[in-house]
Amino acid sequence: MDLEKLKRHFPWITLVVLTLLVGLMDPNFLRPHNLIQLAGDISTLFIMALGITFVIYIGGIDLSAQSVANMTTVLATISLPLFGVWAGVFCIVIGLGFGAVSGFVTTRLKVPSFIATLAVGGLALSVGQYASGQRALYMDATLRDQAFGWMIGTTAGIPHELIIAIILLLLAYFVQNRTTTGRALKAIGAGELAAVASGLKVDQYKIMAFAFSGMFAAIAGLLFSVKLAGGSPTLAEGFLLPAIVAVLVGGTPLTGGVGGVLNTAIGAMIVAVVRTSMLYLEIPATSQQIFFGVVLIAAIALTIDRSKMRIVK
């Protein structure tokens, strides 16, 4: 078996090895209850990563996801008393819109996606700051439970967040593998020029990928704000780096075309296990980003398809 074929199996092998290693340090870690808890805790981050996957899958990057999620926590908190359960729909549509703007700027104005999404992220951040008046806001507990109570809590020991994450994963998986949109995104990631020459409306599909990313970021933000019963423009701080790490460690390279949402699920679990192991090793939370930064660089260097990137600037 050659290295290229083996490479595809790296992510889950890494996951299993890491899990067992942490299990050696503390056998309690391997208890089903603990593992489910762990998966539940990573759900929000995973949902954000799920959206980013679509953009990385076509060879772009979305740096706005965290800011969109931040903004959503604020908007959800503010709009809950006004719209009730419709506040959720409102937030999702706003997220979709911000993503679509990134897509538009990238495809029509030809601004590279990392800059376009960085700028749109700045926009989202400001909206969040303005709407919140720079303060942390709190949701009314009764209103929240009425509208979004179903998002939190557990059924048969399984956290509802995890169930939501799994449903979204299945949906995303279906879109990726069974729909014309998913096929088009794959073609764009693997060979954009051939996709153009085959008559696909490439720009439209690209905008869609960014819109998906914005939408998933908004869902993540919504879930987060319901969970914490409040919103603030810095609530989801520290999500972006691990979310991108989850996508890349999962096996979707920055150059796109391979990998996909299932890979991101594995990547997110790797991130969860690594975080836990850092607790065992007593690494302070403030230092965790150092680790994720290093892992990010390593993951990109190992997974990138160099034939597609002759020149890196």
Q: Which of 199, 287, 311, 313 binds another protein (CB under 8 A)?
A: 199
- Closest to another protein by CB, 103 vs 253, is 253
Note whether 250 binds another protein by CB under 8 A.
no
Note whether 187 binds another protein by CB under 8 A.
yes
Q: Which of 61, 190, 226, 295 binds another protein (CB under 8 A)?
A: 190
CA dihedral (56, 57, 59, 60) positive or negative: negative
b/e per residue, 121-135, with b = 16+ CB within 10 A? Answer: bebbbebbbebbeee
SS (H, E, C) 210-254: HHHHHHHHHHHHHHHHHHHCEECCCCCCCCHHHHHHHHHHHCCCC
Note whether 200 binds another protein by CB under 8 A.
yes
What does the block give as tokens for 194? Answer: 């051939």
Strands 137-138 and 158-159: unpaired
What is the distance between the alpha carbons of residues 38 and 81, in angstroms, rounded to a whole number?
32
What does the block give as tokens for 166? Answer: 């799994």
What region does 74 belong to: left with phi over 0, alpha with psi -120 to 50, or beta? alpha
Q: Which of 198, 289, 298, 302 binds another protein (CB under 8 A)?
A: 198
- Closest to another protein by CB, 197 vs 294, is 197
Q: Which of 3, 193, 281, 311 binds another protein (CB under 8 A)?
A: 193
Q: How far apart are the first and last CA of the chain?
A: 34
- Closest to another protein by CB, 59 vs 242, is 59
Note whether 184 binds another protein by CB under 8 A.
yes
- Closest to another protein by CB, 146 vs 198, is 198
Number of residues that bind another protein (CB under 8 A): 21
Interface with another protein by CB under 8 A: which range of 150-158, 194-202, 208-216, 235-243?
A: 194-202
Nearest approach, Cβ of residue 199 and another protein (Å):
3
Q: Can you give the binding site for another protein, defined by CB under 8 A?
A: 178-181, 183-184, 186-187, 190-191, 193-201, 257-258
